[in-house]
């Protein structure tokens, strides 16, 4: 058993549900969704009558699927959280239906399995986006959508046109308040704490504006490469895979105005205003403010790794980007003139996701040049690998003279809160079951993000456009550092 206790909750009475998991034998179901549902079950956050129905084309019966879960899910659950009685109880919730999602006639077996199923139906699309519309259409034809919810995983389309087509088709079957477009970064504890930090403390709100903020950095870096997903990734790239959704969502939360309430549409209205206020990038502005990179051979943790173009499923002449760094601006009264530097990439020097708010230095120092050093006052919100918040300030060193040095005020969640942290997928799945939409992306948000990145996509489609190469195990192309240097700043790790 885990030594930490589950997080206390104040949720209302638990609701029965029928959770239908399309792609039930796939990687996402095994790695994220079923482990998250087990954690919720173990912590007593699922109604006793709630059921999980896995759906896939794999030739299995129910017992065969439970054996599949034992083999592929249980090893991905932290050993310290495995409780034999809880695990058996969790398996007791699960059943399996084999069907071909591309064949509408096969949905009769699903309708039969759901005939007496409890509670509200939740259809989770843990499949490729090409199956979203056929599945939703078949669910509608089978009469299974009334009062149900559908969860759509990213990527939702390849560009604005394809995203609109999917949304239009799904929207003919499900209303907007039935559709949950999931972005798992919005379920992370540190992202939730952004709301608490900004809107629950009078300390920060007066400083959260152009008069006091010099710049903001948002980084999501991975040590991993494409990990056997070359066929998918080579058609997607870092701009579509990470910037259009995760990074722009994080940026919109950082930059949004205080919502009238924490109701779903109040929060999403304010995020939308940020996305619509993004300064458009065109032509020369893209060349000056967007860096596109692709990893070469190098070393990660002492082990050699191949170049991107040597990965399985990747073309030898691929121009797909595995790294993006860019400067964005929000054209409103709060943020005008403040650069937002966004960065993401694969095969980088470390796995880290963080938001860094750099406050302006004092206008005049009577305590020497240290007080004028950029970064002497900053707020760092770490999302991974561990979640924490750190506020940097200057203090006097003990002893004679007035020598200043950085000191830190730290909130490490795993140390301060002596109970187990809820993983992002667990929180988001519980919100779906409870019918809470605030942490899910609304259609107009998604389309505003696609509209902003569309000129970059088009610019990179030109034959003469090519990514800048960088060695695996580094922080990306040198042009990424030059981008910030032109604004008299640098990435956080470059300060030392």
| Burial per residue of 383-407, b for 16 or more beta-carbon CB atoms within 10 angstroms, e otherwise | bbeebbbbbbebeeeeeeeeebeee
Query: Does 321 carry a binding-site annotation?
Result: no
The catalytic position among 41, 158, 246, 487 is 246
**Tokens at 459, concatenated:** 């610019």
Find residue 404's DSSP bridge partners.
396
Q: What are phi and psi of 140, to 5 degrees?
A: -65, -45
Q: Is 195 left (phi over 0), alpha (psi -120 to 50) or beta?
A: alpha
Is 153 annotated in some ligand binding site?
A: no
State the Cα–Cα distance between residues 260 and 140, nearest whole angstrom.
36
Beta carbons of 134 and 103 less than 8 angstroms apart? no
Q: What are the tokens at 413?
A: 């969640």
Is 184 annotated in a binding site? The answer is yes
Catalytic: 246? yes
**DSSP 8-state class, residue 330:** B
Taking phi first (over 0 means left), then psi (-120 to 50 degrees means alpha), and beta for anything else, what does residue 147 get? Answer: left
222 is in an annotated binding site: yes
Give CA torsion, residues 383, 385, 386, 392, to 10 deg: -60
Of the candidates 124, 126, 133, the residue with the CA atom closest to the CA atom of residue 104: 133
- CB of 222 closer than 8 Å to CB of 345: yes
Q: Which residues are annotated as part of the binding site?
A: 154, 184, 188, 222, 241, 346
Q: Which residues are annotated as part of the binding site for NADP(+)?
A: 154
Residue numbers annotated as active site: 246
Q: Which residues are annotated as part of the binding site for substrate?
A: 184, 188, 222, 241, 346
């Amino acid at each position: 058993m885990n030594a930490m206790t589950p997080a206390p909750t104040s949720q209302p009475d638990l609701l029965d549900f029928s959770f239908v998991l399309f792609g039930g034998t796939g990687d996402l179901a095994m790695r994220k969704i079923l482990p998250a549902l087990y954690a919720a079950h173990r912590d007593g956050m699922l109604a006793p009558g709630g059921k999980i129905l896995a759906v896939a084309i794999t030739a299995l019966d129910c017992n065969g699927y439970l054996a599949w879960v034992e083999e592929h899910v249980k090893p991905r659950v932290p050993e310290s959280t495995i409780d034999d009685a809880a695990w058996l109880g969790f398996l007791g919730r699960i059943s399996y239906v084999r069907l071909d999602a591309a064949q509408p006639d096969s949905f009769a077996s699903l309708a039969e399995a759901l005939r007496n199923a409890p509670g509200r139906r939740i259809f989770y699309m843990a499949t490729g986006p090409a199956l979203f519309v056929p599945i939703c259409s078949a669910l509608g034809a089978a009469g299974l959508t009334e009062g149900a919810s559908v969860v759509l995983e990213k990527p939702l389309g390849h560009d604005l046109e394809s995203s609109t087509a999917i949304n239009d088709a799904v929207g003919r079957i499900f209303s907007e308040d039935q559709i949950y477009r999931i972005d798992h970064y919005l379920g992370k504890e540190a992202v939730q704490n952004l709301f608490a930090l900004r809107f629950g403390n009078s300390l920060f709100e007066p400083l959260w504006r152009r008069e006091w903020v010099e710049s903001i950095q948002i980084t999501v870096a991975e040590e991993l490469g494409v990990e056997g997903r070359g066929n998918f990734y080579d058609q997607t790239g870092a701009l579509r895979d990470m910037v259009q959704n995760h990074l722009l969502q994080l940026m919109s939360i950082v930059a949004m105005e205080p919502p009238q309430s924490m109701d779903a549409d109040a929060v999403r209205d304010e995020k939308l205003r940020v996305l619509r206020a993004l300064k458009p990038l065109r032509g020369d502005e893209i060349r000056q403010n967007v860096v596109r990179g692709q990893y070469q051979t190098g070393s990660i943790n002492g082990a050699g790794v191949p170049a991107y173009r040597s990965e399985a499923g990747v073309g030898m002449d691929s121009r797909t980007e595995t790294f993006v760094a860019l400067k964005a601006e929000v054209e409103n009264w709060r943020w005008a003139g403040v650069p937002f530097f966004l960065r993401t990439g694969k095969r980088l020097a470390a796995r880290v996701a963080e938001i860094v708010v750099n406050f302006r230095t004092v206008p005049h120092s009577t305590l020497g040049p240290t007080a004028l050093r950029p970064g002497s006052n900053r707020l760092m919100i770490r999302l991974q690998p561990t979640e924490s918040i750190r506020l940097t300030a200057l203090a006097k060193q003990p002893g004679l003279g007035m020598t200043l040095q950085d000191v830190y005020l730290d909130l490490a969640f795993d140390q301060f809160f002596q109970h187990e942290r809820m993983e992002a997928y667990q929180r988001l799945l519980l919100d779906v079951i409870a019918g809470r939409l605030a942490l899910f992306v609304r259609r107009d948000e998604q389309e505003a993000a696609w509209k902003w990145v569309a000129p970059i996509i088009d610019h990179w489609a030109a034959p003469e456009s090519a990514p800048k190469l960088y060695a695996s195990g580094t922080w990306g192309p040198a042009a990424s550092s030059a981008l910030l240097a032109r604004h008299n700043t640098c990435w956080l790790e470059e300060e030392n």
